[in-house]
Amino acid sequence: MPKYQNDEDYDIHALLDVIYLKWGYDFRGYSKASLTRRIFFFLQEERIDRIPELQYRIVRDRALFSRFIKDVTVNVTEMFRDPPFYRSVKQHIVPQLKTYPHIKIWHAGCATGEEVYSLAMLLDQVGLLDRATIYATDINRSVLDRAKKGIYSDSHLSQYQQNFKDAGLSGNLLDYFEKGYDHVIVDSRLRKNIVFTEHDLVIDHVFGEMQLIFCRNVLIYFTRELQNKVIGLFTESLDFGGYLCLGIKESLDFFDGRKMFTAVDADHRLFQKTSNKDSSDKR
Amino acid sequence: MVSVMLIRSENDTFSRLVVIGTSWGGIDALKVLLGNINTPFTFSIVIVIHQDRQNRSHLSTLFSQMVSFPVLEAADKQQILPGNVYISTPNYHLLVEQDGTLSHTVDRPVNFCRPSVDVLFQTAADAFGKRVIAIVLTGANQDGAEGSKWVKRRGGQVFVQNPKEAEAKIMPLATIGNTDVDFVGNLDALALVLNNLECS
Ligand SMILES: C[S@@+](CC[C@H](N)C(=O)[O-])C[C@H]1O[C@@H](n2cnc3c(N)ncnc32)[C@H](O)[C@@H]1O
């Protein structure tokens, strides 16, 4: 059986190879259905007819490549996505975080920052914000710039206020924002311990010793092999007893080192690293 | 043991991939459709149904109690197996990969919907072309109409619930208006067509 269904697949494969060779970004382990969809949107946006033409140009045009990164990654996010998840974090993870004098937290794939500020609000309410350093990273520089600015259109505000309540926080979401004309700006108090930097989960290395890692709705874009590798990176970066929080559609079921973790709340994808030794039988 | 299972799942691919899209009235329609399918069957069914985003899907449990075949909430990178039914999760688009697995994205809504029927249909058609049968059931929006066109373009077939029978006609009508559909019929007739696939 041929490895690919049609010529388009060869084109995409070749494009990803060339991008890796030229720019060092590796999309070859991404799940193809979503990536292909995004690449075709990008072609439309750039008014490029065919993938081979994109392949030719992307090697020669850095600006085009930057726009490619910006457009093929899926950056859709929201404040307090899955509100019950935040309740669970408060119930299951916060008590142990309180026992540390200082906490390091990593948001991998933070997109435009809504999730980072959501957790910061929660930390504020439980008195942990001043003790925390939060590293918020993404492969896409342009979303990081927006995350850093912390300016959000108020079109989703009512949804976010509802999420805020459903997540079990007290007071009002707007306590943490300054109101602009058609937007809101994150209060500086919330941002002072947050460091936004570029980090590529596929290529880059361990980040530091973390007590908590959030990586939600990023692994869904990766094949099982790449998921395995990236979760390995998280495992290395986690302190013994540290926590890993994934998105609702993500799990450790196929991770080689899954036995190093204990599910603290399997439904909400909260895992704790409870062993330093990878004793699991490799599949 | 492990290797035996792997070999089984690799060879054990579906005869046809039936993708179903529905919205308003969809739960009742699916009860009738799934309830009328004869077991065992060798195709696989993947369903996108629009639901309130707050409801974590309990539909798989609901349907599982009604029928004798597995009805599962789609898991990420899960292999689509013959005889199984997979249902979307609210707030995630559901996609079909070329290796016969399912995947998800939180990309922007399509037709104001996430999951979107169009996204399921298009990715299924891209991956499995002629082997795809798309079915559009009751619903009060136009999601699925574009995807159906795509399914046809890639050589698949499109079946639509009879708008007269559908609780909400807009979705079936939109598809019929947009695409040269292969079959329009009531739910029991649609089930019959699926049952007959086993003999052909
Ligand atoms: C859908 S967003 C998730 C945002 C947030 N965590 C949430 O759940 O709402 C996925 C993010 O992962 C980022 N991403 C994709 N590939 C990446 C990689 N290799 N390294 C780091 N981030 C990546 C994308 O740029 C995007 O911002």
Average pLDDT of chain A, as a whole number: 95
| B3 inside domain | no
| B10 inside domain | no
Per the DSSP assignment, residues forming a β-bridge with A134 are A105, A194
- Residue among A173, A115, A167 nearest A143 (CA): A115
Model pLDDT for residues A90-126, shown as the tens digit of each residue: 999 999 999 999 999 999 999 999 999 999 999 999 9
Return d(Cα A14, Cα A55) in angstroms, integer. 8
With beta carbons less than 8 A apart as the criterion, state whether B177 and B145 touch: yes
As for how many domains chain B has, the answer is 1
- A-proximal residues of B, 126-185, CB under 8 Å: 126-127, 129
Asked if A74 lies within 8 A of B2 by C-beta distance, the reply is no
The CATH number corresponding to A83-273 among 1.25.40.10, 3.40.50.150, 3.40.50.300, 3.40.50.2300 equals 3.40.50.150
Model pLDDT for residues A166-214, shown as the tens digit of each residue: 999 999 999 999 999 899 999 999 999 999 999 999 999 998 899 999 9
A227 lines ligand 1 (CB under 6 A): no
Measured between CA atoms, the residue of chain A closest to residue B114 is: A76
Would you write out chain B's pLDDT as a tens digit for each of its 200 residues?
343 343 444 457 999 999 999 999 999 999 999 999 999 999 999 999 998 766 666 899 999 999 999 999 999 999 999 999 999 999 999 999 999 999 999 999 999 999 999 999 999 999 999 999 999 999 999 999 999 999 999 999 999 999 999 999 999 999 999 999 999 999 999 999 999 998 76
Residue B50 annotated in active site: yes
| B45 inside domain | yes
Return d(Cα A248, Cα A88) in angstroms, integer. 13
Instruction: Check residue A7 and give its pLDDT.
Output: 79
Contacts with A4 from chain B: Cβ below 8 Å: 98
* Nearest CB to B89 within list A74, A224, A249: A249
The answer, yes or no, to whether residue A5 has pLDDT greater than 70, is no
Instruction: Check residue A280 and give its pLDDT.
Output: 52
For residue A107, which atom of ligand 1 is closest to its CA? 6
Type and span of the H or E element at B183: strand B183-185
Mutate to test the interface with A, among B98, B106, B150 (most CBs of A within 10 A): B106
The dihedral through the CA atoms of B87, B69, B148, A29 has a sign that is positive
Model pLDDT for residues A37-71, shown as the tens digit of each residue: 999 999 999 999 999 999 999 999 999 999 999 99
* Nearest CB to A33 within list B56, B108, B123: B123
Contacts with A37 from chain B: Cβ below 8 Å: 95, 105, 107, 119, 122-123
CA of A93 to the centre of ligand 1 (A): 23
- CA A129 from centre of chain: 20
| B109 inside domain | yes
Model pLDDT for residues A137-173, shown as the tens digit of each residue: 999 999 999 999 999 999 999 999 999 999 999 999 9
Give the pLDDT band (50/70/90) at residue A8: confident
Catalytic residue among B44, B50, B88, B93: B50
Q: Percent helix, strand, coil in chain B (nearest 5)?
A: 35, 20, 45
- What are A96-99's contacts with CB under 8 Å, separation 24+? A96/A241, A96/A243, A97/A128, A97/A211, A97/A212, A98/A126, A98/A127, A98/A128
A111 lines ligand 1 (CB under 6 A): yes
Residue B157 belongs to domain spanning: 17-199
Nearby residues of B47 by Cβ (< 8 Å), 6 or more positions away: B19, B20, B21, B22, B30, B85, B86, B87, B88
A202 lines ligand 1 (CB under 6 A): yes
Domain layout of chain A by residue ranges? 7-72, 83-273
Per-residue DSSP letter, B6 = H
With beta carbons less than 8 A apart as the criterion, state whether A10 and A4 touch: yes
Per-residue DSSP letter, A242 = E
Instruction: Check residue B57 and give its pLDDT.
Output: 60
Return d(Cα A154, Cα B110) in angstroms, integer. 21
Return d(Cα A52, Cα A49) in angstroms, integer. 9
Model pLDDT for residues A242-259, shown as the tens digit of each residue: 999 999 999 999 999 999
B73 CB near a chain A CB, below 8 Å? no
Instruction: Check residue A3 and give its pLDDT.
Output: 58
Q: Is the pTM of this model over 0.90?
A: yes
ipTM exceeding cut-off 0.90 for this assembly? yes
Catalytic residue among B44, B93, B118, B143: B143
Give the pLDDT band (50/70/90) at residue A26: very high
Contact residues, chain A to chain B, C-beta under 8 Å:
4-5, 9, 31-34, 36-38, 74, 76-77, 217, 219-221, 223-224, 227, 247-251, 254, 283
Q: Which of A73, A219, A237 to mutate to test the pocket of ligand 1 (most atoms within 8 A of CB)?
A: A73
- % of chain A with per-residue pLDDT over 90: 92
What are the strands, taking DSSP E only, across chain A?
103-108, 132-138, 151-153, 177-179, 183-186, 194-198, 210-215, 238-246, 261-265, 270-273
Cis peptide before B115 (omega within 30 of 0): yes
Residue B143 annotated in active site: yes
B92 CB near a chain A CB, below 8 Å? yes
Return d(Cα B88, Cα B76) in angstroms, integer. 11
Model pLDDT for residues A66-86, shown as the tens digit of each residue: 999 999 999 999 999 999 999
Asked if B76 lies within 8 A of A220 by C-beta distance, the reply is yes
